[in-house]
Amino acid sequence: MSTPATTIFSPALAARFDKLVTLYPVRRSALVPMLLYSQDEVGYISDAVVEEIAVRIGITPLDVRNVLSYYSMLRTKPVGKYNVQVCTNISCMLKDGYGILDHCKQRLGIGHKEVTPDGLFSLEEVECIGACCWAPAVQINYDFYDDLTPEKMDKVLEDYRAGRGKETL
Amino acid sequence: MADVTFTVDGKKLTAPAGTLLIDACRKAGIEIPAFCYYPGLSLQAACRMCVVRLEKVPKLQTACTTPVAEGMVVTTESDEIKQSRKAILELLLGNHPLDCPVCDAGGECELQDMTFKYGAAESKYVEIKQHREEQQWSPVVFFDRPRCILCYRCVRVCGEGMDVWALGVQNRGVSSVISPNGEDHLDCEECGMCIDICPVGALTSGTYRYKTRPWEMNHVATVCTHCGDGCKTTLGVRSVDDGSEIIRGDNRDKSGMNGDFLCIKGRYAFDFTTREDRITKPLVRQPNGQLAEVSWEQALEHAGMKLREIRDTRGGSAIGVIGSTRTTNEEAYLLQKFARTVLNTNNIDHHRTADYASFAAALQGKAGRTASLRDFLTAPAILLLGNDATEQHPALAWNIRSNVRQNRARLYVANHADIKLHRQAKSFLQIPQDGYAALVQYLAGNEAGFDGTEISAAFREALRKEESLVIAFGSEFRGRDIQSLVDFGLGLPNVKFAALGDYANSRGAADMGLMPDLLPGYVPLAAAKHFGEEYPSLPSAPGLDMLQMFDAAEAGNLGALYVVGSNPVERYGIDPTALKNTFLIVQDMFMTETAAVADVIFPAANLYEKSGTVTNTYGDLQLAKKAADKAGVRTDFELIVRLADKMGADPKKLVPFGRGVRADMGQTRGAQSGEADRHAVWLAANNLEPKLSPFDPFAVFDEIQRLVPSYNVSRFELLGGQDKQTRSDLVQIELDPARRDLVLPANDTLFTSGTLGRYSRMLHSVMESRTTKPAETAAD
Amino acid sequence: MTRGWCKEYTAASYTVVMSIVRNIAGITKGMSITFREMLQPTEVENYPDGPGPTRGAVLQERFRGAHELQRDENGLEKCVACFLCAAACPSNCIYIEAAENTAEQRISSAERYAKVYNIDYNRCIFCGYCVEACPTDAITHGHGFELASLNATNLVMRKEDMLVANVGMPGQLAAHSDSLK
């Protein structure tokens, strides 16, 4: 239940966390946002992240892991620079979301939850991302690409590969 | 809270508002099944077994989360409810292996019982069950994942009950799994509560697993022999070639002051009883300096003759006696009576771990001022001064935690270390190690000598506002400090005290007069009027205390030393060569440092192998029953009597057996003569003996109750297995202000108990795993 | 009788005639077996001088003789020391000590095995409850019946006395031993 002397986070994020834990009646309420923000910064929830969050909130690392393992959007392994998340829920499925997924798999040469050897892309099949009106949709990091066809998908991937994609990570 | 009236299965019931329906029903004898609900723990409502029909509520409701309300109409058994529970069981059994014949829980498994009751043996599921390999989380905890029904009892008891939080639930839904804090192992207090509380066989105990089945054991309720808390424990014993062996310890029936709690020592560390290096034959040192096995007769003859010779030639003052903190009250009493009437000496002492004499002196004549261990479960406020209860008094810590959690008791802690109970404390005060006396002065209003801060002022202020307080203090308090603490406490309304000492019967040893200057009941030698009849030749001068005895031995003035169940050479760091001119008799289980230099060694039984009474450090008197048995050893009681007999003393004077009570052994019954008397059979079955024998502890207990008024508690309840608080107000003593308290705290931790724990393989393996495991993870 | 013996004489005489005919038929049926057997060759169970491992004794399959402890198809003991036979035994003649299998030494296929398994034939009443209770079909009744002894202490059979021989190769059924002990 304290601020650790050394932090693995950036000063801005550390300061944000310092404030976050004071916002709720119970400190542990800050756990999920803290996990999400650290994932954005670090890329994944490493053991060091778990340890530091546990110290900051004043709970055991096991408690952090209990919550961490509950949410499938929190990951404990590094992903590629661009995490391609293909939706295959009902609307996207009807509009050939699986086709997009298969196309990505073939084009990137990786499967579900895998990373390309150069570390640039990772692929993930996800549940609804809330873009049903423009299905099929894909989320790369925090950016949406919708109304996709395999050709459009190729273009998107090509842009990212050439460094023209949006850099959010 | 106000009572409400409601109807369950057509019966009108009344319970305080806010009571959970499941509790109210159980109290009225209506059983509602539940896996996840456990009294005293937080509510989970995970298992859905306790569903009941509430009138006007559309769906079945969980009785474990429904508080009773006025006019509520409840049905607990109907076809609909049966159907629902059966469906739940079917789901639980979906991946539960049907290995009941091998499972440790078979026969006492709640899932098994429910399946029998609701008949969910046939399943609609055809999928293959998923098998996962069993995991070993620590030397004592094994986890069999497929057997787990995810009731989360273990998670809650570890976190809420023990405040360890070593177990968690990972993943979600069908892939949820109980997981330990150290990835693949547990890093915890190893109390085994999770195993105890598991309704199925998912968590199994390293000491008990695959050894037997519950119905094949004899279950004996007795008192734990490790620390001074006096936990009730039910030992599961089975016969082996050389007696009977303890294979399990638990307290599932929640008898005793500890409820269902036992610490690692109580639950696992009984294996010292079956160690192969235990002494099982009397040993006598031969002229060549070697110890040799001899017959009992020879050994007793030899020891008795020598003692008699030394007493008659050099006088009783040349003989010393050191008693034990692990023997029963009867044995402690008998030992000092033997010393004072047969050996004619007051040179008697024991390893003192708390200054009970000063405590008794401070509280004399004040009724109802001693706290039972039970009081810590109900007291609205508790002050803990010194002592790390989590390590040294685990049951006290458990009761305090339960009290804080369930009744919101206010805990005040003052300690020189940042002890774990800090987390439960309303107010915590860290003081210097030698600052306890000054703290008491400060609390009493005398600020000199104490660096008061805002925190300490608030601490004092809050304490003074308490209307009912229990004060527990550790061995940091001795002599005059105890007096001033009691004086301070008595200034507050409604205060009770507890002195915390180590070992199973340290309090009993002090109460029973294993001290050079005090007779049983802390009666000073000078005031021994009513002891006259039983103690005809009582020497009037105080004897030598423990350290003086060894000084005398070194100076060659101690002809003989009789050590019962104690290891002073190791504990007090005595140079063994100091005893080379002393005839040393040792009664013990193992070849201790003291036994190694003895002239005669008698193999003795431990507390699990004898009957009698013990007093815990709070003064709660309990009955210990014989559970285990080991061929070749004898109780200290028997050994003392036999030794007295060999010295030519009249055993009947020592043990007033055959007096008052008669038992018919069948001699008087004509045609049936020779047949054992039914009463005698009953006594034997209950590990009691008819009082026809000089080895009957109850004959001595008669005398204790006669001579020590504070022990004159209801015998009836004691025999029923209840704890009875001894009455310190009946003690009358006046202590010499210059008296040495000689308190040497044991400073045991959860995993060590110097005298017995060192012989427990299980404790050793737990400690080894703790020293190696963190290193492994650090290397990861 | 009360129904037949009433007013009408004809009805009464009919009853008498019919009963005589029935008796004759019954005697004929019974004696026919006797006479038929008289013409068959004589069969004597020449125990104990007969042929075969039972020395001439012929035992029905259901006969409950001395117990046998079976092995599974891998030659491991079937008994997992669940103590259910001991619990079911009305004469309390089964004594078991359980122990845990280790990776180095595997005795039974489950975690636990019977380190000691004794049946006291002084007490056993051959009721078969143990066989019925056994969840793994480990204990069965064999056909051994020559159990008499001049010394009662010989009647406590140990596991080694009752265990069937491990003759099968792994994967092969252990041969059912019907021989007398």
The pLDDT, as a whole number, for residue B540 is 86
Task: Answer whether residue B251 is part of any domain.
Answer: no
The two beta strands, A138-140 and A82-87, are antiparallel
Mean pLDDT, all residues of chain C: 85
Chain B (188-227) residues lying within 8 Å, Cβ to Cβ, of chain C: 209-213, 215-216
Instruction: Name the domain boundary from B27, B57, B91.
Output: B91
* Among the partner residues A63, A69, A70, nearest to B165 by beta-carbon distance: A63
**Do B406 and B458 belong to one domain?**
yes
pLDDT-derived band at B667, boundaries 50, 70, 90: very low
Q: Judge contact between A79 and A44, C-beta under 8 A.
A: yes
Give the whole-angstrom CA distance, residue C80 versus residue C117.
Answer: 11
Is residue A167 one of the residues assigned to a domain?
no
B183-224 confidence digits (pLDDT tens):
889 999 999 999 999 999 999 999 999 999 999 999 999 999
A108, A151: one domain: yes
Among B91, B109, B140, the domain boundary falls at B91
- Residue B664 pLDDT exceeds 70: no
3-class secondary structure, A136: coil
Q: Are residues B370 and B467 in the same domain?
A: yes
Model confidence at B681, pLDDT cuts 50, 70, 90, reads: low
Are residues C72 and C135 located together in one domain of the fold?
yes
Domain count, chain C: 2
Is residue B778 pLDDT above 50, yes or no? no
Is residue A65 located within the same domain as residue A112? no
Residues B174 and B81 placed together within one structural domain of the fold:
no
Of A62, A69, A70, the CB nearest to B181: A62
Tell me the mean pLDDT in the region B71-83: 94
Supply the CATH number for residue C150's domain.
3.30.70.3270
Domain shared by A112 and A87, yes or no: yes
Distance of residue C82 Cα from the nearest chain B Cα, in angstroms: 5
Q: Establish if B735 belongs to a structural domain.
A: no
Instruction: Give the CA distances from residue B418 to residues A32, B389, C72, in Å, rounded to whole numbers and listed in that order.
Output: 31, 12, 59
Share of chain B above pLDDT 70, in %: 94
H-assigned helices in B234-355: 264-268, 296-314, 329-337
C167 and C175 in contact (C-beta within 8 Å)? yes
pLDDT tens by residue, B537-566: 888 889 999 999 999 999 999 999 999 999
Q: What is the mean pLDDT of residues B650-668?
A: 66
Question: The domain that contains A24 carries what CATH number?
Answer: 1.10.10
Residue C169 inside a domain? The answer is no
Domain annotation covers residue B190: yes
Closest residue of chain A to B183, computed from CA coordinates: A62
Q: How far apart are CA B625 and CA B246, in angstroms?
A: 13
Same domain for B568 and B695?
yes
Which residues of chain C neighbour B99 with C-beta distances below 8 Å? 110
Residue B743: inside a domain: no
Cα angle for residues B156, B158, B164 (degrees, 5° grid): 130
More confident residue, B715 or A54: A54
User: Does some domain include residue B238?
Assistant: no
Residue C178 in any domain: the answer is: no
Same domain for B84 and B118? Answer: no
Whether A65 and A105 map to the same domain: the answer is no
Residue B117 lies in a domain: yes
**Nearest chain C residue (CA) to B133:** C111
Helix, strand, coil fractions of chain C, as percent rounded to 5: 25, 15, 55
Q: B-chain residues within 8 Å CB-CB of C110?
A: 99, 101-102
Which pLDDT score, from 0 to 100, does residue C80 have? 93
Q: Is residue A137 part of a domain?
A: yes
B368, B392: one domain: yes
Domain coverage including residue B197 = 93-205
Final residue before a domain boundary, out of B499, B519, B540: B499
- Within a domain: C167: no
Q: Are residues A124 and A102 in the same domain?
A: yes
Residue A132 annotated as part of some ligand binding site:
yes
> Predicted confidence band at C53 (pLDDT cuts at 50, 70, 90)?
confident
Whether pLDDT at B294 is above 70: yes
The whole-number pLDDT of residue B669 equals 46
Residue A99 Cα, gap to closest chain B Cα (Å): 29
Based on the fold, state whether residues A149 and A108 are members of the same structural domain. yes
**Whether residues B475 and B421 fall in one domain:** yes
For residue B496, the cross-strand partners are B470
Least confident piece of the model among B611-615, B633-637, C171-175: C171-175
Which tens digits make up the pLDDT trace of A112-169?
999 999 999 999 999 999 999 998 999 998 889 999 999 999 999 999 988 887 764 4
Instruction: Tell me the sheet residues that pair with C163.
Output: C69
Does the pLDDT at position A85 exceed 70? yes
User: For the residues B273-291, what does the mean pLDDT come to?
Assistant: 93
Separation between Cα atoms, residue B374 and residue B380, nearest integer Å: 13
| Chains C and B in direct contact, meaning 3 or more beta-carbon pairs closer than 8 angstroms | yes
pLDDT score at B731:
80
Residues A47 and A116 in one domain: no
Contact B22, B49 (CB under 8 A): no
- A59 to chain B: closest CA residue: B165
Let me know if residue B734 belongs to a domain.
no
Beta-bridge partners for B221 = B234
Position A77 in a domain: no
Question: Could you tell me the residue range of the domain that residue A29 belongs to?
Answer: 11-70
Q: What CATH number corresponds to the domain at position A123?
A: 3.40.30.10
Residue C52: inside a domain = no
- Whether residue C59 lies inside any domain: the answer is no
How many Cβ atoms are within 10 Å of A136's Cβ, its own excluded? Answer: 28
N residues, chain A: 169
| B548 lies in the same domain as B617 | yes
C37 and C107 fall within a common domain: no
Domain that holds residue C115: 67-162
Percent of chain B with pLDDT over 90: 70
Tokens of B501: 């000492």
CA distance B194 to B156: 9
- Residues A86 and A65 placed together within one structural domain of the fold: no
Q: Residues of B with CB below 8 A from A63's CB?
A: 165, 168
Beta-bridge partner residues of C113: C99
Q: Are residues C24 and C77 in the same domain?
A: no
Alpha-carbon dihedral of residues A41, A42, A43, A47, nearest 10 degrees?
Answer: -140
pLDDT score of B139 more than 80: yes
pLDDT at B253 over 70: yes
pLDDT of residue C57: 86
Indicate if C71 and C129 belong to the same structural domain.
yes
Contact residues on chain A for B169, CB-CB shorter than 8 A: 66
Q: Do C83 and B216 touch (CB under 8 A)?
A: yes
The per-residue pLDDT for range B83-96, each reduced to its tens digit, is 999 999 999 998 99
A49 in the same domain as A92: no
Q: Is the CB of C135 less than 8 angstroms away from the CB of B100? A: yes
Calpha distance A169→A97 (Å, rounded): 25
Are B172 and A63 in contact (CB < 8 Å)? no
Cβ(B412)–Cβ(B472) below 8 Å: no
**Mean pLDDT across the stretch C112-133?**
94
> Is pLDDT of C174 > 70?
no
Residues C77 and C26 in one domain: no
Euclidean distance between CA atoms A38 and B631, whole angstroms: 65
> B531 and B477 in one domain?
no
CA distance B182 to chain A (A): 8
Say if CB B35 and CB B151 are below 8 A apart. yes
Nearest to B411, CA basis, from B394, B386, B401:
B401
CB-CB under 8 Å, B210 with C111: yes
**Is A104 a known ligand-binding residue?**
no
Choose the final residue of a domain: A50, A70, A90: A70
CA–CA dist B51, C43 (Å, integer): 70
For residues B36-49, average pLDDT: 93
CA distance B546 to B351: 8
pTM: 0.88
CB crowding A75-111: b at 16 or more within 10 Å, else e:
beeebbbbbbbbbbbebbeebbbebbbebbbebbebe
Q: Does one domain contain both A31 and A90? A: no
Per-residue pLDDT averaged across C77-106, rounded?
A: 92
**With 70 as the cut, is the pLDDT of residue B127 above it?**
yes
User: Is A touching B (3+ C-beta pairs, cut-off 8 A)?
Assistant: yes
Please say if the pLDDT value at position B288 is more than 80.
yes
Note whether residue C147 is domain-resident: yes
Q: What is the pLDDT of residue C2?
A: 53
Asked if residue A122 is part of any domain, the answer here is yes
Whether B548 and B565 have beta carbons less than 8 Å apart is answered as: no
**Shared domain check, A90 and A157:** yes
Task: Compare C181 and B595 and report the one with higher pLDDT.
Answer: B595
CA Rg value for chain C: 27
Domain shared by A42 and A86, yes or no: no
Q: State the average pLDDT over residues B434-454.
A: 89
**Mean pLDDT of all residues in B44-62:** 94
Residue B485, domain member (yes or no): yes
B170 contact A CB<8A: yes
pLDDT digit string (tens) for B399-421?
Answer: 999 999 999 999 999 999 999 99
DSSP-based three-state secondary structure for B461:
helix
| B169, B177, B423: best to mutate for the A interface, most A CBs within 10 A | B169
CB contact under 8 A, B210 and C112: yes
Residues 6+ apart with CB under 8 A from C140: C67, C68, C70, C131
Per CB-CB distance under 8 Å, the chain B contacts of A60 are 165, 181
C134 annotated to a ligand binding site: yes
State whether B570 and B655 are in the same domain: yes
Total domains, chain B:
4
Average pLDDT over residues B460-469: 93
Same domain, C25 and C72: no
Total domains present in chain A = 2
Q: By mean pLDDT, which of B110-124, B251-265, C42-56, C117-131 is the weakest? A: C42-56
Q: How far apart are CA B616 and CA B510, in angstroms?
A: 11
Please indicate, yes or no, whether residues B555 and B521 belong to a single structural domain of this protein.
yes
- State whether B367 and B458 are in the same domain: yes
